Amino acid sequence: MCGAGGFIGAHLVGRLKAEGFWVRGVDLRQPPFRPTAADEFAQGDLRDAAFARSVTDRRFDEVYQLAADMGGAGFLFTGEHDADIMRNSALINIHVLDACRRRGVGRIFYSSSACVYPQHNQRDAQHPDLAEGSVYPADPDSEYGWEKLFAERLFLAHGRNHGMAVRIARYHNIFGPEGTWTGGREKSPAAICRKVAMAEDGGAVEIWGDGQQTRSFLYIDECIEGTLRLMRSRHTGPFNVGSEEMVTIDGLAAMTAAIAGKTIRLRHVAGPVGVHGRRSDNTLVRATLGWAPERPLREGLAATFAWIKEQVDRDLASPHAPA
Ligand code: NAD
């Protein structure tokens, strides 16, 4: 599991362990919120080809490549980190594939993103087009998306030329407990949960942009389910793994406030917002895998809010909390 210290990777390790697999986790860091469930954990940098080879020391049945230089809009869409995002993730992908090819690894999963889709299909907030086939002609709105598109092609080419069984999911805004919730790399559900948890009843929270941009958010458990179903299928993809329940960012904030039982005012401020509209289109994945996520956003949001509120309360109770 490359990226086993990350949000999705740590959850995926937990699920594979619960199913009885032996798992080696690989990451720059240990999971920040609870000890890894992996049998072994190799801490190191997959931008280093020798490290990637050393952790691929046997013919693993399955390799999951989730390691990436990653964050929410405040990290991906400001432009300040573009060169690092492209270089770091491209090196990781090349080295992991190379190591897997040398060892004859049979099956490899790659986590792509909704960010591969062209911006011209995401201008209408109410009617975005994110069917898998709409990705070309390519025009992602971020360098992160361009790197993901390159990586998809890199994985597919390795599948064709080196006989690897490649499986690719395009994740759409995955959220849940034990994800990054502060520090600048958090994504909008976590940021909004944190802001609402910290706000007084009747207080205000800041929302980037006009709040009318739409998104769909997928709860972590369904992301894991979709990932494993795809990995164990005979289909390569890429497939969307996302929710079809579309919500505006203001709507997400209102739902969070209702879960918290608070009256919250929204203050719209300038900030990186990304495309106007984005929602998973599950037509293909439903027809091919006979599965698509169905859990209502509100359920996952309630679980996520409860976990983030615990973190906020614990931080406020700490002796190092700001006065
Ligand atoms: P995350 O940032 O929590 O996890 C990524 C992990 O990769 C981190 O633990 C990080 O330390 C590790 N990593 C980064 N550089 C590394 C390096 N050089 N060597 C070894 N490890 C390194 O992100 P996540 O949300 O768990 O996302 C997992 C994957 O899914 C990523 O590829 C991401 O691009 C993709 N994805 C996620 C979402 C989402 O909503 N979370 C959406 C689309 C795609």
Query: How does DSSP classify residue 101?
Result: H
Amino acid at 26: V
Which residues of the chain are modeled with pLDDT < 70?
Answer: 321-323
Which residues, in sequence order, are CB contacts of 87 under 8 Å at separation 6+?
A: none
pLDDT at 77: 84
Q: How many CB atoms lie within 10 A of CB 267?
A: 11
Write the pLDDT tens digit of every residue in 39-73.
Answer: 999 999 999 999 999 999 999 999 999 999 988 77
pLDDT at 302: 98
pLDDT at 321: 64
pLDDT at 322: 54
CATH 3.40.190.10 correct for 188-215+245-280+294-312: no
What are the boundaries of each domain within the chain? 7-174+219-241, 188-215+245-280+294-312
pLDDT at 193: 98
Of 117, 144, 171, 219, the catalytic one is 144
Cα–ligand 1 centroid distance for 117 (angstroms): 19
Cα–ligand 1 centroid distance for 68 (angstroms): 4
Cβ–ligand 1 distance for 16 under 6 Å, the answer: no
Concerning whether 144 is annotated as a catalytic residue, the answer is: yes
Residue 248 phi, psi (nearest 5): -80, 165
How far apart are alpha carbons 282 and 271 in whole angstroms? 30
Q: How many CB atoms lie within 10 A of CB 238?
A: 25
Sheet-wide strand order for 165-171: 62-65, 107-113, 165-171, 239-241
pLDDT at 12: 98
Number of H helices, E strands in the chain: 10, 12
Buried b (16+ CB within 10 A) or exposed e, 91-105: bbbbbbbbbbbeeeb
Cβ–ligand 1 distance for 176 under 6 Å, the answer: no
pLDDT at 212: 96
Strand boundaries in the chain, DSSP class E = 24-27, 40-43, 62-65, 107-113, 165-171, 174-175, 204-208, 214-216, 218-219, 239-241, 246-248, 265-269
Probe target for ligand 1 pocket from 8, 46, 186, with the most ligand atoms within 8 Å of CB: 8
Around 168, how many Cα atoms within 13 Å sit in the side-chain half-sphere?
24
Long-range contacts of 253-258, Cβ-Cβ distance < 8 Å, separation of 24 or more: 253/192, 253/196, 253/205, 253/207, 253/211, 255/297, 255/298, 255/301, 256/189, 256/192, 256/193, 256/196, 256/301, 256/305, 257/196
Probe target for ligand 1 pocket from 66, 146, 154, with the most ligand atoms within 8 Å of CB: 66
- Torsion sign over Cα 70, 76, 79, 82: positive
How far apart are alpha carbons 242 and 219 in whole angstroms? 9
pLDDT at 74: 82
How far apart are alpha carbons 42 and 282 in whole angstroms? 36
Write the pLDDT tens digit of every residue in 80-125.
Answer: 999 999 999 999 999 999 999 999 998 999 999 999 999 999 999 9
Is the whole model's pTM more than 0.85, yes or no? yes
Say if residues 244 and 216 touch (Cβ distance below 8 Å).
Answer: yes
Distance, first Cα to last Cα, the chain: 41
CATH 3.40.50.720 correct for 7-174+219-241: yes
Q: How many CB atoms lie within 10 A of CB 263?
A: 12
